Amino acid sequence: MDMKVIIDTIWVLVTAKLVFFMNLGFAMVESGFARAKNCVNILSKNFVVFAVSSLGFLFLGWGLMFGDGNPFVGLKGLFFVSGLDNSPAVGEAYKGVYSAISWTGVPLWAKFFFQLVFCGTAATIVSGAVAERIKYKSFILFSFIMTMFIYPIIGHWVWGGGWLAQKGMFDFAGSTVVHSVGGWAALAGVLLLGPRFGKYSNGRINPIPGHNLSLATLGTFVLWFGWFGFNPGSTMMADPQAISHVVVTTNMAAAAAILSAIMVSWILLGKPDLGMTLNGCLAGLVAITAPCAFVSVGSSIIIGLIAGILVVLAVIGFDKLKIDDPVGALSVHLVNGVFGTLCVGLFAQDKIAGVATGDGLFYGGGLKLFLAQLTGVISVAVYTFIVSLIAWAILKTVMGIRVSLQEEIEGLDIGEHGNAAYPEFLERKPTYSFLGLKE
């Protein structure tokens, strides 16, 4: 076997495993930002969502995303990855778009696993936004819908040679395909769920602090580390120049966003809030995900600085609108997913990492690239939000999506799972009745 094929395959699989490792980061961040009485529920959702993603994407998602079809959806070989491999490397519609990228010879299952971990990331974003009041079974069912009918369709439009790719939209590693899709789906769920009990009362916004910022901080480090697979891995080949460039732009955006989030939270809140700082890091990473291969290192710093400001303002703004997001997922993934996608049209420089895009507005480019990015943002928002809203509404009508008020007050750990993360600190002990044990 050709040595290049071996090296490229190893690169794709190693970076995919780094992205898989990000599931741990999401679990730690979300549980740390939630209250102790809901810790088991958060951990369980983050654990089960990748199992759901694996089965859903294998059964139907890959076929809809990469199967031969029309510009809007894959139609051939829909089930169990049974059709012709029409992934971005070999799909006829994609040739000439990412001209420097070639997966020739990389096994299909390596490509499948790499795309699967991205699908799982999009699904797990929803978990944090609907935390502390969502029914466990409703979340699982929505995750299946997300991984089979929502994420793959958008993926086909952008990464499967679909109509947005043909219009010239670029999203190198998923600011739109992964992050804003997760954000729009989460927003639909949050609006139908409503805020947590006691969050907004008497015209006031009542802070509900998370139980463990140590855990959230460790989780953010895990995500930052995992992003060095997320973005550089999207080269899909062991190209030393491209990998090196993407690693640096990814890191610099995160670093800049941390500092700007600290400064803005210090000014607006009077203290350098740690939660805002952590979300600042994630906001910078989300924002640089689409343009990481297309922009200079200097531009990545500017993107990060703006992302850090946006996330703080968004957290405050969503609260003023009484849109309750316990972990800031909407501010991180939705707001900065949109911003990062538009940054391609603003800051792109042709062939920075060997990938031809055309220049963005700030580098003498015309409106064409920016308008392509804007078209992608709007169309993805409309499809994802509407389909998600319908899915959530059906679940709400058929089985309900919110736990009872009593269960919410007592905590979802006992109500949904029959156990607790910190049983020695709870006044009401879990009964473990399903094991025949008593209090």
Q: Which 8-state DSSP code applies to residue 92?
A: G
Lowest mean pLDDT among 39-48, 73-82, 275-284: 73-82
DSSP string covering 259-290: HHHHHHHHHHHSS--HHHHHHHHHHHHHHHHT
Among the residue ranges 22-31, 107-116, 126-135, the one predicted with the least confidence is 107-116
Instruction: Quickly state the pLDDT bin for 237 (edges 50, 70, 90).
Output: confident
405 pLDDT above the threshold of 60: yes
Q: Tell me what pLDDT residue 203 has.
A: 84
DSSP assignment of 187-253, as one string?
HHHHHHH-PPTTSEETTEE-----S-HHHHHHHHHHHHHHHHHHTGGGG-S--HHHHHHHHHHHHHH
Q: Model's pTM, two decimal places? A: 0.91
- Residue 65 has a pLDDT of 93
- Confidence grade of residue 93 (pLDDT, cut at 50, 70, 90): very low
Domain ranges in the chain?
3-402, 406-435
Class of the CATH-defined domain 3-402:
mainly alpha
Model confidence at 97, pLDDT cuts 50, 70, 90, reads very low
d(CA 280, CA 156): 30
User: Taking phi first (over 0 means left), then psi (-120 to 50 degrees means alpha), and beta for anything else, what does residue 170 get?
Assistant: beta
Percentage of the chain with pLDDT > 70? 91
pLDDT confidence tier of residue 327, bands split at 50, 70 and 90? very high
Cα R_g (the chain), whole angstroms: 21
With a CB cutoff of 8 Å and minimum separation 6, the contacts of 306 are: 260, 287, 339
Name the more confident of 31 and 88.
31
pLDDT cut 90: percent of the chain above it:
77
Run of H or E including 63: helix 62-66
Check residue 89 and give its pLDDT: 42
DSSP code for 82: -
Is the pLDDT assigned to residue 295 strictly greater than 70? yes
230: left (phi over 0), alpha (psi -120 to 50) or beta: alpha
Residue 275 contacts residue 261 (beta carbons within 8 Å): no
CA distances from residue 248 to 32, 53, 118, 174, 279 in whole angstroms, order as listed: 28, 30, 21, 17, 20
Q: Compute the mean pLDDT over every residue in the chain, rounded to the nearest whole number.
A: 90
Please name the residue that has the structure tokens 């955006």.
253
DSSP letter assigned to residue 89: T
Quick: pLDDT tens for 167-212.
Answer: 999 999 999 999 999 999 999 999 999 999 999 988 899 999 999 9
